[in-house]
Each structure stands twice: as C-alpha cells, then as structure tokens.
Amino acid sequence: MPEADDKTAQDYAPQIPQKTEDFFLKGSGALEWGMKNRLSRIFNPASGRTVMLAIDHGYFQGPTSGLERVDLNILPLVPYADSLMLTRGILRSVVPAALPKSVVLRVSGGASILKELSAEGVAVDIEDSIRLNVCAMAVQVFVGGEHERDSILNMTKVVDWGNRYGIPTLAVTAVGKDMKRDARYFRLATRICAELGAHIVKTYYVEDGFETVTAACPVPIVMAGGKKIPEIDALRMASKACLEGAAGVDMGRNIFQSEHPAAMIQAVRAVVHRDETPEKALALYEELSRQP
C-alpha cells in the first residue's frame, strides 16, 4: 500500500539546491559512474594521488628479487598501498579475496626477457577482469618499439572493452629500443596513450622537463619507480614527480627491494599523500626500520 502523502514542502528542502560534485581527477569528469567509482578506489579522493604497489614484474621476468615469495614478502605491505598492480595468476593463487584494496590487473603479456619485449598481446579476457572485480586493466605500450603498432592496438582494444563495462585502462609506457628516456619521448608516448583512450598513464620520471610531460597528458600520470636506487633518491624522485604534476606512483622495485620494504612504502606514502619532504620521509623510513 502506498504511504500516505502527508509530507510538507519542507520535507523536500526545495530551498537547498542539489550539489553537483566535480570529480577530483584530471580529465576524468565526463566518465561514467562506474569508471569514476573504480578510479576513486585507486586514487585517494582526499589527496588526489595513489601509492600503487607494482608487483607484476613476473609476467615477463619471472621471480625477480623481492618477488620470490609474494605471500611472504608482499602481503605484509598491502595495508600501506592504495592499490595493488599484479597478474591474475598471483592474484588468484596468493592474494586473499578479502583484500580491502583495489586491484589493477596486468592484462598484456606474451613476451619474456629472453626475446623481444614488445611482442605482447592482450593476455586476459575482459570477462576475467570483470570476474576478478578489478578497478583497472594495465597494458604495456611500446612507442618506438619493434611492435609499436600491435602494442598500441592492444591498448585500444582493452580501452574499448573497459569502456563497455566501466573499467579504466592504465597504459604503461615502456621505453622503445632506440628512444632516449627524456621528456620529449615521454610527452610523445603518454600523449599517444591518452589520445587513444587510456584513463591513466604510467611513465618514468625524468629530471629535465617532467612537468611538461604531466601538463601535456590530459589524464592522470603515475610514476614508475624503475631500478632500485638508494631510498633517499627514490623518495626525492617520488616527491619531485608529485610536485611536478604526477597523481602518485606505481612503484615496485624501490619498495620491495628495499632492505625494509614496509618502512619504505610508508615513507613513500608520506611523500605522495602528505607532501612530506624527502628528508623527513627518510627519517620516517629510518625510524620505522629500527622497529622490530
């Protein structure tokens, strides 16, 4: 039975206009609700940034240092990450389904360190991404690489799939063989990814002109860490990247190959989410490293 209509106009608060919220992420305001909801689980709406822990390296290089035992070495770090970037194999076999974090699923693959790295295809069906309830799908893009075209079309295929179901695509710019890792290259690579539909682009930091890379890319950029470097240098790099327009980091080796990974990821968080100086973040790292 319908309820009696004995309400007054005040019940509808007609004097208070309904708020239309702006979406906090660059270039993402026109996306559909599901996309925005997933992006909000990757990026912290309060800081607009993310600490994504990248542990997908095994998909082409096997059990690299620090990832020999994901169950023992990585799961203790999960509470400090906003998001986990990994393969479906590790997700299903090692990560508890009660994981309270968002998942960014590596969906490109097909190459190994023994051969040409750019010879990738799409290696996960969209149905499996949906089944695993992921918040984004990650595809490697080799601009300037031997299989440039295939890798770009891998990305656009995943973008089209994801658009159908509200799942964003993270394009990972891999450095092509003959291209220098400079701002000019990364402006080219990141812009191509964004123009062709990527919702997030991952790239490396460059000392000279990184702010032109983030400025020219109309969607959020996250910074990859690259090879292991001293903790203070990694914290400086993350800090500069964020101050120069990155929406956080997607960092792997500089966290899990640190002597104290749990301390390091917390120091990275301080830089990314609280704009802590690298020196203070290093002090935090050292203090946490001393704890049993």
Q: What minimum distance in Å lies between the beta carbon of 192 and ligand R5P?
A: 17
Footprint of ligand R5P on this chain (CB under 6 A)?
Answer: 54, 56-57, 85, 172, 224-226, 250-254
Instruction: Identify which of residues 31 and 246 has a Cβ nearer to ligand R5P in the complex.
Output: 246
Does residue 228 have an active-site annotation? no
Query: Which of 165, 147, 70 is CA-nearest to residue 109?
Result: 147
Q: What minimum distance in Å lies between the beta carbon of 23 and ligand R5P?
A: 26
Instruction: Identify which of residues 56 and 276 has a Cβ nearer to ligand R5P in the complex.
Output: 56
Candidates 19, 115, 157, 202; catalytic one: 202
Q: What minimum distance in Å lies between the beta carbon of 224 and ligand R5P?
A: 4
Instruction: Identify which of residues 251 and 264 has a Cβ nearer to ligand R5P in the complex.
Output: 251
Query: Which of 80, 127, 115 is CA-nearest to residue 100?
Result: 80
Q: What minimum distance in Å lies between the beta carbon of 151 and ligand R5P?
A: 12
Q: What minimum distance in Å lies between the beta carbon of 282 and ligand R5P?
A: 18
Instruction: Identify which of residues 172 and 265 has a Cβ nearer to ligand R5P in the complex.
Output: 172
Instruction: Identify which of residues 27 and 226 has a Cβ nearer to ligand R5P in the complex.
Output: 226
Catalytic residues: 202
